[in-house]
Chains A and B, each alone.
Chain A
Amino acid sequence: MKALRLAGIVLLAAILILSVGCSSRKVVSRVDTAETIDLSGNWNDTDSRLVAEEMISDALAKPWLTNFVGAQGKNPAVIVGAIRNLTDEHIATGTFVGDIERAFINSGNVRVVAKPVEREGVREERADQQANASPETVKEFGMELGADYMLIGEMNKITDQEGREKVAFYQVDLTLTDLQSNEKVWMQTKKLKKYIARKAYKP
């Protein structure tokens, strides 16, 4: 009987493997955007959110803001510059940078200047207005808001791997620099560490 079972295995395995190989089923379901789902171990939406939360709470609480308002009597204008990705992953820095911009604007205490790419589009529209908009609604050139500070930063990653285990350490550094004096008025770092282990076998 054992031998017969072996024969059956060969026959059935041949048929099943070839037929199963052709079928695949994708499952898609909606989940809460705040839910943490780690799949590959790479940088993901949760990491981005954690960085944004840390940076926003710190940036709005630190004295650079009150110092500026006290000295100038107005809210500071900030522009977001380059966030250099020095990791070995393609990371969409725009997500947490966008969160920071949104938090600045919604706080009502910080003004945000459009990024260079966004400005190009706005300027094109303004140029179009010169020819097509009514005189009372046309916007003038040379009246843009100049930023007081520039937000720049970089992301680094250190990976240590042996066999199927890996530790990935991410560090995001953001700096707010005075555009007039080059003085750094705010710096913050967010560190994330992940342990990723891969099973040798699955069923």
Chain B
Amino acid sequence: MSKVVFSPPTSWGDKGGSGCCGATRTPPIPPARREEALISLRGRGDKRGVCSQSVPAVSPYFSRGTKEGWSVFPLLAGGQKGGLFLLLFALLFCGCAPRMALMQAVRTDISSSQLEKAYQFYAKKVAKTERVDELLNLGLLAFEAGDYTTSFRTLSDAERLAEERLTKSVSRETAALVVSDAVSAYQGTVFDKAMLHYYRGLGFLAQHNLESATVEGRAIAQYLEVNARESKRTYKDDGFLQWFSGSLYDAYGQANDAWISYRRAREIYDSGYYALREPSFLCPVTLAAVRKVGHSESETELESECPAAAESLHSDWGRVIVLCEVGLAPPILEEDILLPIYKNDPHHFAGDDERGRFAHDLALRRGHDYQYGSDVTLDYFLRVALPYYGADYVGSGVAQVMVKDTTGREIPAELAQNIGAIFRQDLSDRQGAILVRAITRALIKYAATKAAESAGNRHNEALGRVLGAMVNVAGVATESADTRSWETLPDRIYAADFELPPGTHSLRAVFQDDLGGALFRHDFDPVEVKPGEIVFLRARCMR
């Protein structure tokens, strides 16, 4: 008795061949080995950077076999019809695979700190793009390369398009339900839309435009305020961005707004913000803001919470904020899962609601075992493509960051934002709905294939096979998970926030591994610290 495990395996699947838009030829599988083949083909196929996939071998159409044997596309074997299908297949694939390969190349350049090269390459490839994910990626690459004008313009375009796409296109959504989630207009995640203000703010700070940077800080606060009220997902508010927003308010002289943002940041960290502890500098900066506002009750409360800071705050010193970004956020990968359809399952649906209910039931079969010879008989496997994050992905080798000054003083930068964790949680929040949608789509595609076959069979069997194969090829070729995301973001952000006496200071950020070895050093240009002012510094370590 053989056994099929539907839960995702830990090993990587076949990555297929290479070369643009070339379909992998899956070797013919004899009928006798059908079950074994299906078993061996379960699991993940990482399609990043490759154009091929082993999907057709487990498509519903294929699983039913043909007289010609078990080739994936029996009609591709030769002749003009074969050429036509190959062309169709190639056309369908050319739209997405190069983009995945493109991001792979960009990530490679970024990982080796070739930011300018990555920027120029990507900018050339996605020129005039209207995809939100590409605009976000490009905006951050432009920022890293010091092209702040392009960065601002591009991130603003991304924000505008994301806003426009809140109004969903019925035609696109319908197409997404029938074809692929990747067809729907990507509008970015809530986190993306908050983070783009962070980078636009940093861009303005780099250009010494505090007023415009503070506008971005306000936009963060406004956006998060609405999201905290309305979001049904885990990411509702953002401790790191609230602190950053508060710091911009503070720098611009709006102590009351700064206090509100700092206070909110503390509440978020205290409520278990992606398992991060509240950074130790947050209480002192909140206290300093409260003192400026003159709210004695809160001041007393904060003095008891951070007594050491209460004694050591210097109103005649300046403040330095060091933002240390590390690594690259995890990319979304694609996995194929197989779900068993039994003989006694419904194969025809009266409407969308009935199909939807069945899709929900099917989703529950994920991760369950199917025993051959059990009381239910397998009819076919339903293959769906789902997005996921690799469990073994390491965003950065950096374990801690120290900020050093010329006197040898060391200030630890604390982990304040775990972007990788936010990404994973966000996908996890959406995964249930994605799975049901993918199953519904697969059912529609399967029904369409059978319908085409039946329609053709009324004239003759060969036509039935042709039509069935055409619809099957279209369905299989377009089935892909939505892997779009803001991939150029760092994996984590460490932050230090401390006071320094007025004067010129030279600071260095040292990015260390878990053994304390220096992976990367960044020497900042000497900074002029003035009483009551805030200096913002930022460095990124790609290792």
Interface residues of A (CB under 8 A from B): 3-4, 6-7, 9-11, 13-18, 21-22, 24, 40, 84-90, 159, 161-164, 198-203
Contacts and interface: CB of A to CB of B under 8 A. Distances in A.
7 contacts: A10-B444, A18-B91, A18-B92, A88-B218, A88-B221, A89-B215, A200-B167
A16 B178 CA distance: 12
Interface stretch (B47-55, B308-316, B373-381, B473-481): B473-481
A41 to B, nearest CB: 9
Nearest to A166: B226
B130 A24 contact: yes
B300 interface: no
Interface stretch (B110-118, B325-333, B451-459): B451-459
B301 interface: no
Contacts of B455: 3-4, 7
Contacts of A4: 451-452, 455
Nearest to A3: B451
Nearest to B221: A88
B167 A202 contact: yes
Nearest to B183: A17
A201 B95 contact: no
Given A7-B448, A15-B92, 12 more contacts: A3-B454, A4-B455, A6-B444, A7-B449, A7-B455, A11-B448, A13-B179, A14-B474, A17-B183, A88-B221, A88-B222, A203-B171
A168 B122 CA distance: 37
Contacts of A15: 88, 91-92, 474
Contact of B170 (A6, A24, A201): A201
Given A6-B447, A7-B448, A13 B175 contact: yes
Contacts of A85: 211, 215
A162 B167 CA distance: 15
Given A6-B451, A11-B470, A22-B95, A163 B230 contact: yes
B413 interface: no
B171 A88 contact: no
Given A3-B451, A7-B455, A7-B467, A87 B175 contact: no
Contacts of A24: 130
Interface string B156-190: 00001001001111111111001100010000000
A164 B448 contact: no
A16 B212 CA distance: 42
Main secondary structure of the interface of A (DSSP, over half): mixed
Interface string B199-242: 00000000000011001001101100010011000000000000
A85 B248 CA distance: 14
Given A6-B448, A14-B92, A198 B167 contact: yes
A194 to B, nearest CB: 15
Question: Which 6 residue pairs are nearest across A and B when measured between Cβ atoms?
Answer: A3-B451, A7-B452, A88-B218, A7-B448, A88-B219, A10-B448
B492 interface: no
Nearest to B156: A90
A3 B215 contact: no
Contacts, number: 104
Given A3-B454, A11-B471, A159 B222 contact: yes
Contacts of A86: 218, 254
B484 interface: no
Of the four ranges (under 10, 10 to 19, 20 to 34, 35 or more), the interface on chain B belongs to 35 or more
Nearest to A160: B226
B266 interface: no
Contacts of B171: 203
A71 to B, nearest CB: 35
A198 B162 CA distance: 13
A203 B173 CA distance: 10
A190 B219 CA distance: 22
Nearest to B128: A24
A10 B169 contact: no
A7 to B, nearest CB: 4
B383 interface: no
A14 B447 contact: no
Given A14-B92, A40-B163, A9 B178 contact: yes
Contacts of B160: 40
B169 A203 contact: yes
A85 B254 CA distance: 12
A10 B452 CA distance: 11
B222 A10 contact: no
Interface in B431-462: 444-445, 447-452, 454-455
Contacts of A164: 166
A10 B222 CA distance: 42
B183 to A, nearest CB: 5
A10 B471 contact: yes
A166 to B, nearest CB: 9
A122 B226 CA distance: 47
A10 B479 CA distance: 11
Contact of A10 (B168, B178, B211, B218): B178
A3 B446 CA distance: 11
Nearest to A82: B211
Contacts of A22: 95
Contacts of A10: 178-179, 444-445, 448, 471, 474-475
B447 A202 contact: no
A4 B449 CA distance: 9
Contacts of A21: 95, 183
B427 to A, nearest CB: 23
Given A24-B130, A161-B226, A11 B166 contact: no
Given A88-B222, A163-B230, A202-B170, A14 B451 contact: no
Contacts of A11: 448, 470-471, 474
Given A7-B471, A13-B175, A90 B445 contact: no
A9 B448 contact: yes
A134 to B, nearest CB: 40
A203 to B, nearest CB: 6
Contacts of B230: 162-163
A175 to B, nearest CB: 18
Nearest to B95: A18
B204 to A, nearest CB: 9
A199 B164 CA distance: 10
A201 B168 contact: yes
